[in-house]
C-alpha cells in the first residue's frame, strides 16, 4: 500500500511541505510526483488527481484522489491510528486539532508578507502591525500548548504530531525573515530547522534554482539560520567507501568528499542534494561517521 503525493516546489511551496511531512515523519509508505508550480503546467500535471487544483494532493492506494492538507491529515490519522499523527490524550488531541484548523484558515498577514523561501534569510525586514499581531497570537497558542501538553518532549504536544507539521512552514518564515519572537518561540523554531526531515526537504529543494527567483525581496541576504551543514564537495572520481548509493541502492557513479571520506551516489541529483546538507541524510552520515570513528 503506497500513497502518491503530488507536490510543488520544495523551496517555496509551504503546503507541499506540510503534505510531505505528514507522510515522512510518521513512516507512511509514499512516493512523490513533482508538478510544475511555476512552469505553467500545474493543471495538466494534476490531471491524475482531478478534481484537485492545488498542491499537495494525494492519490490513495486504491486510486481515490484526495486534496487539501486538512482532509489529508484527518484521513491519514483515521487510516493509521498506530502511527500517532494526533496526540493520544483526548484534551491534547482536541487542542492540536484546534491549532491545525486555525493555522489552516488564518494568519493571512504572515502568508502574504512572508512567503516561504528556504534559500536564505533577509536582513532588515520590518513586519507591519497586522503581522506583529499574528505573531503574538502564534506565541500565545504555542506557549499554552507546550505548557499544558508539551512536558514529554520539545514539540508543541511533547512528541511530534500533526500540529507541528502545520507549523513547520511558519517556523521557516519566522527564521527567514527574522521575525521578532520570544525565547520559547525561537527555541521551537530552531527545533524545526534542526529536524532531519525538514533538513532533507530543504536540501533537495536547493538542487533547483529559478531565475528570476519567486518572491525575492530587495533586502540584504543572510545565510540560512538553521544548523551549519557539514562541508561537502563534489569530486570527479572514486573509489568510494560504499558499494551502493545510500539514496538509491544502485552502484555509484558520482562522488562527494565529506569529512575526508569519498562517498558514491548513483545519480547527480542524489549527490547534489546530499552535498547541500549531509547530516540530513542518516544513511550518508552513518557512512562518513564510521570512517571518523575508525580514524
Is residue 294 over pLDDT 90?
no
Q: What's the pLDDT band for 210 if we cut at 50, 70, 90? A: confident
Q: Tell me the residue length of the chain.
A: 295
Comparing C-alpha atoms, which of 208, 218, 138, 144 is closest to residue 173?
Answer: 138
DSSP one-letter string for 191-225:
HHHH-HHHHHHHHHHTT---SSPTT--SS-EE--S
Angle at 124 between CA 121 and CA 130, to 5 degrees: 95
Sign of the CA dihedral running 100, 106, 108, 113? negative
DSSP assignment of 243-292 equals SS-TTTSS---EEEEETTEEEEESSHHHHHHHHH-GGG-HHHHHHHHHHH
Does residue 295 register a pLDDT over 60? no
Distance, in Å, from the CA atom of 23 to the CA atom of 31, rounded to the nearest integer, reads 10
Beta-carbon count within 10 A of 194 CB: 14
Pair 121, 130: CB distance under 8 Å: no
Q: pLDDT averaged over the chain?
A: 95
Residue 293 is predicted with a pLDDT of: 58
Residue 246's nearest CA partner among 270, 223, 228 is 270
pLDDT in tens, 96-148: 999 999 999 999 999 999 999 999 999 999 999 999 999 999 999 999 999 99
Q: What is the mean pLDDT of residues 12-30?
A: 98
Pairing mode, strands 261-265 and 254-258: antiparallel
Q: What pLDDT sits at residue 247?
A: 94
**pLDDT, mean of residues 221-240:** 94
pLDDT in tens, 37-84: 888 899 999 999 999 999 999 999 999 999 999 999 999 999 999 999
What's the average model confidence in pLDDT over 201-225? Answer: 92
Q: What is the mean pLDDT of residues 247-271?
A: 95
Coarse DSSP helix, strand, coil percentages of the chain, rounded to the nearest 5 percent: 45, 10, 40
| pLDDT number for residue 5 | 98
pLDDT of residue 236: 93
Amino acid at each position: 500500500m503506497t500513497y502518491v503525493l503530488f507536490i510543488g516546489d520544495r523551496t517555496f511551496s509551504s503546503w507541499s511541505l506540510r503534505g510531505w511531512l505528514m507522510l515522512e515523519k510518521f513512516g507512511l509508505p509514499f512516493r512523490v510526483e513533482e508538478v510544475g508550480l511555476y512552469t505553467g503546467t500545474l493543471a495538466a500535471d494534476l490531471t491524475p488527481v482531478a478534481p484537485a487544483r492545488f498542491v499537495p494532493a494525494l492519490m490513495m492506494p486504491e486510486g481515490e484522489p484526495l486534496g487539501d492538507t486538512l482532509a489529508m491529515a484527518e484521513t491519514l490519522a483515521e487510516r493509521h491510528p498506530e502511527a500517532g499523527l494526533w496526540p493520544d490524550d483526548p484534551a491534547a488531541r482536541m487542542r492540536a486539532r484546534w491549532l491545525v484548523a486555525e493555522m489552516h484558515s488564518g494568519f493571512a498577514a504572515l502568508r502574504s508578507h512572508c512567503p516561504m523561501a528556504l534559500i536564505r534569510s533577509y536582513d532588515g525586514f520590518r513586519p507591519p502591525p497586522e503581522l506583529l499581531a499574528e505573531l503574538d497570537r502564534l506565541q500565545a497558542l504555542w506557549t499554552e500548548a507546550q505548557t499544558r501538553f508539551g512536558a514529554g518532549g520539545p514539540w508543541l504536544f511533547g512528541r511530534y504530531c500533526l500540529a507541528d507539521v502545520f507549523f513547520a512552514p511558519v517556523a521557516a518564515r519566522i527564521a527567514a525573515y527574522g521575525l521578532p519572537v520570544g525565547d520559547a518561540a525561537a527555541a521551537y523554531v530552531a527545533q524545526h530547522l534542526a529536524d532531519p526531515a525538514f533538513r532533507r526537504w530543504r536540501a533537495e529543494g536547493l538542487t533547483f534554482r529559478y531565475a528570476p527567483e519567486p518572491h525575492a525581496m530587495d533586502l540584504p541576504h543572510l545565510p540560512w539560520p538553521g544548523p551549519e551543514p557539514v562541508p561537502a564537495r563534489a569530486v570527479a572520481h572514486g573509489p568510494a567507501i560504499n558499494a551502493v548509493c545510500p539514496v538509491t541502492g544502485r552502484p555509484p557513479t558520482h562522488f562527494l568528499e565529506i569529512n575526508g571520506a569519498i562517498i558514491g551516489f548513483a545519480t547527480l541529483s542524489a549527490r547534489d542534494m546530499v552535498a547541500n546538507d549531509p547530516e540530513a541524510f542518516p544513511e550518508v552520515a552513518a557512512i562518513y561517521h564510521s570512517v571518523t570513528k575508525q580514524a
